[in-house]
Amino acid sequence: MLLSITTEHPPATDLGYLLHKHPGRLQTFDLSFGKAHVFYPEADENRCTACLLLDIDPVGMVRGKNRSQGDLLARYVNDRPYVASSFLSVAISQVLGAAMSGRCKDRPELADTPLPLAARIDVLPVRGGERFLRQLFEPLGYTVEAEAYPLDEKFPAWGNSPYFSVTIRGVTTLSQLLTHLYVLVPVFDNEKHYFVGEAELEKLLAKGGGWLTAHPEKDQITRRYLKHRYGLYREALSRLIEVEELQAPPDEQTASAEEETLERSVSLNDQRHGAVLAALKASGARSVLDLGCGEGKLLRQLLPENQFEQIVGVDVSIRSLEMAQKRLKLDRLPPRQAERLKLLHGSLIYRDRRLEGFDAAAVVEVIEHLDPPRLTALERAVFEFARPKIVVVTTPNQEYNVMWESLPAGQFRHADHRFEWTRAQFQAWAGRICQAFGYTVRYLPVGPEDEKVGSPTQMGVFEF
């Protein structure tokens, strides 16, 4: 298994400083699974290549282990010595650790400088094919060259193997490049030579925190990195979300303003929060979640009600939470009051233990902001995991849109809405929720009710 890193940025031999490995020498390191050699097949002003060659000892790895376990032949005869796998990640961190963490003793400024770099891996098993290879590297700014190998040269009809020689090129710091390889190589391979536990989760968060959150394939990467250990996977995603500023689209502010203007004539917002508040009060709840609390309009109404001993607002948008903090004047509340109210940054599409054990939850004008897979995830996170005794959900009634003359036909009330449901659609959804999670539901109209099209907002009160 060979990793070659090349730069043509003069003086190219600076690569030696960055890697903390002298271009003139062969260096060998003992690792638990064999040896790692570092050498430079070429090193001059204009082009320099450093190679990390892993010499994995499959027999040594089996020696001393319990022979009765597993398939013995497969433990001696396998692809591990020849392919890039989690062994490569271990070698990168042990042999090139300083370079990966961005330290450069002799030329500190070099470590922070993006350079044109190419990394070639011979060979990488890609479970998921060339498309998956591109889906993972291209969003990180690399161009990808992949050379596939046939399963057997003598039998072309058998097609290609999962093995590729892969070259990625990009202008980046060496530290970033090594970090990307460290995390992604085991993801392609989808096999791990060590037990995957909490330590792996911490590694993934430490190495991936800066870039993984924005990666479109972060779900897949996390799931495979943690080897399909779902508990760990969920925790990782929810913690990645904490570093993620899920930016509202730039026009979110104006879109909100538009929606408000549209609805102002009936001050629908107030009526909605009033209706939710009434349902929560009537339920006798003492602890309440406001899920997708936005700028805290409902929270402001909950706060004066002494019945609610514990009030928690949750939102994925940091900006909204900051506005809520200001709006509620949290820093100026007397300590007894401030203790009752907490704002949490989190996403409702992941299980979050902080949200368990509450009497009630409000989900006001949130579901229509989620596309179908996310909505399915929210359903489980709220009704299966957080599982409050009462959940109040509101969403626009699409039928009512004809009543607003300023809203062009077929258009949603808010630019970020993924759907707006008719009453029948909302009730079909609610029915499914009740069946799946053992709740019962009743429906209440919010706002002026029209005989034909109903009220502008529909509300479902779920209880078990």
Q: Point out which residues bind ligand SAH (CB under 6 A).
A: 292-294, 297-298, 315-317, 320, 347-349, 364-366, 369-370
The smaller minimum CB distance to ligand SAH, of residues 163 and 426, is found at 426
- Report the C-alpha gap between 363 and 379 in whole angstroms: 11
Say if residues 144 and 133 touch (Cβ distance below 8 Å). yes
The smaller minimum CB distance to ligand SAH, of residues 2 and 415, is found at 415
The smaller minimum CB distance to ligand SAH, of residues 288 and 370, is found at 370
Minimum Å gap between C-beta 259 and ligand SAH is: 9
Minimum Å gap between C-beta 296 and ligand SAH is: 8
- Report the C-alpha gap between 174 and 180 in whole angstroms: 10
Can you name the residues that pair with 315 across neighbouring β-strands? 345
CA 244 to chain centre: 8
* Residue carrying the six token digits 């570092």: 38
Q: Which residues, 6 or more positions from 243, have their beta carbon under 8 angstroms from its beta carbon?
A: 209, 213
Minimum Å gap between C-beta 330 and ligand SAH is: 17
Minimum Å gap between C-beta 314 and ligand SAH is: 6
- Report the C-alpha gap between 176 and 137 in whole angstroms: 12
Say if residues 391 and 363 touch (Cβ distance below 8 Å). yes
Q: Tell me which amino acid residue 9 is.
A: H
The smaller minimum CB distance to ligand SAH, of residues 52 and 378, is found at 378
The smaller minimum CB distance to ligand SAH, of residues 54 and 370, is found at 370
Closest among 290, 292, 318 to 302, alpha carbons compared:
290
The smaller minimum CB distance to ligand SAH, of residues 187 and 316, is found at 316
Q: Tell me which amino acid residue 287 is.
A: S
The smaller minimum CB distance to ligand SAH, of residues 79 and 219, is found at 219
Q: Which residue is nearest to ligand SAH (CB)?
A: 294
- Report the C-alpha gap between 90 and 353 in whole angstroms: 32
Minimum Å gap between C-beta 410 and ligand SAH is: 22
Categorise residue 444: left if φ over 0, alpha if ψ from -120 to 50, beta otherwise. Answer: beta
Minimum Å gap between C-beta 274 and ligand SAH is: 12
Minimum Å gap between C-beta 298 and ligand SAH is: 6
Minimum Å gap between C-beta 294 and ligand SAH is: 3
- Report the C-alpha gap between 384 and 247 in whole angstroms: 27
Minimum Å gap between C-beta 288 and ligand SAH is: 13
- Report the C-alpha gap between 440 and 437 in whole angstroms: 9
Say if residues 49 and 42 touch (Cβ distance below 8 Å). yes
The smaller minimum CB distance to ligand SAH, of residues 51 and 277, is found at 277
Beta-strand runs (E) in 301-387: 310-315, 341-345, 360-364
The smaller minimum CB distance to ligand SAH, of residues 223 and 414, is found at 414
Minimum Å gap between C-beta 316 and ligand SAH is: 4
| Burial class for 40, CB neighbours closer than 10 Å (0-12, 13-18, 19+) | buried
State the number of CA atoms in the 13 A half-sphere of 13 facing the CB. 8
The smaller minimum CB distance to ligand SAH, of residues 200 and 259, is found at 259
Can you name the residues that pair with 234 across neighbouring β-strands? none
